[in-house]
Amino acid sequence: MQHHTFVDAAIVACGTLRPEIDHLVTEKFIDTDQIYYTTPGLHQDIGELERQLSKAIEKAKTRAKGVIVVYGGKYCYVNSDEPTRLMKSVVSEHGPNVARIQASHCMGMLASQEEMDNIAREIAGGEPVWFMTPGWVKYRKLVFKGWDKGIANENFPRHTGGAVVLDGIGFMDDYMASDPEGFLDYCDWMGIPMQAYPISLDRFKNLLTEQLSVLHQQQKEND
């Protein structure tokens, strides 16, 4: 995989993806110091999502030549008051040199729909699976803020194939070893078993570099 430097770019991301981004910083794939996170779980509070995201983008624009927004589309931003207002609308309002990663949600940044379908067939015989990323486990109280056991019972048990964490950083092994009681409590709360599925971060890397290329092209056109 060709690696383009991110040194002149800033990244604004949903905090749910912080574990993966921090991992890519550690392995020096991401080499910018300008990384800004919004609070995990803001898909449940559109007003606060827009406020934090807009503030972070505007700050990032003052620190870098271009901004890559790491946020999903239709599943991360649903505006019931303005149904025609989309995530791309929010991002486009910040003008040129701001590009958003092309995916519908954070799971789609780590695995394609085809890959998730194949995983469901492999480990659950094609039964419905509730996919998550490590951030959905690490930031459970934020991602599922306001969910009681009743809401959990309405959503999770229909996924008869269980919960699958798309894990490209070895998070779940560490989590289960360091907090086995927390792991069992999480499974009990959901009412379905949870397991990790090891993946690579190649898809995520490609999606990031695609938007870096978009920014570079925009900058050439503006020069």
- Tell if the pTM clears 0.75, that is, is over it: yes
Share of the chain above pLDDT 70, in %: 98
Nearest in space to 97 (alpha carbons), one of 71, 73, 62, 72: 62
Answer yes or no: is pLDDT of 190 > 50.
yes
Correct CATH for 9-107+201-222 of 3.40.50, 2.60.40, 1.10.287, 3.30.1050: 3.40.50
Nearest in space to 13 (alpha carbons), one of 90, 62, 89, 71: 71
pLDDT tens readout for residues 60-80:
999 999 999 999 998 888 888
Locate the domains of the chain by residue range. 9-107+201-222, 112-198
Take residue 98 and report the two structure tokens written for it: 């701001």
Q: Are 14 and 56 in contact (CB under 8 A)?
A: no
Answer yes or no: is pLDDT of 1 > 60.
no
Share of the chain above pLDDT 90, in %: 86
pLDDT tens readout for residues 112-166:
999 999 999 999 998 999 999 999 999 999 999 999 999 999 999 999 999 999 9
Give me the phi and psi of 67, to 5 degrees please: -125, 130
- CA separation (Å) from 33 to 8, 36, 222? 9, 9, 24
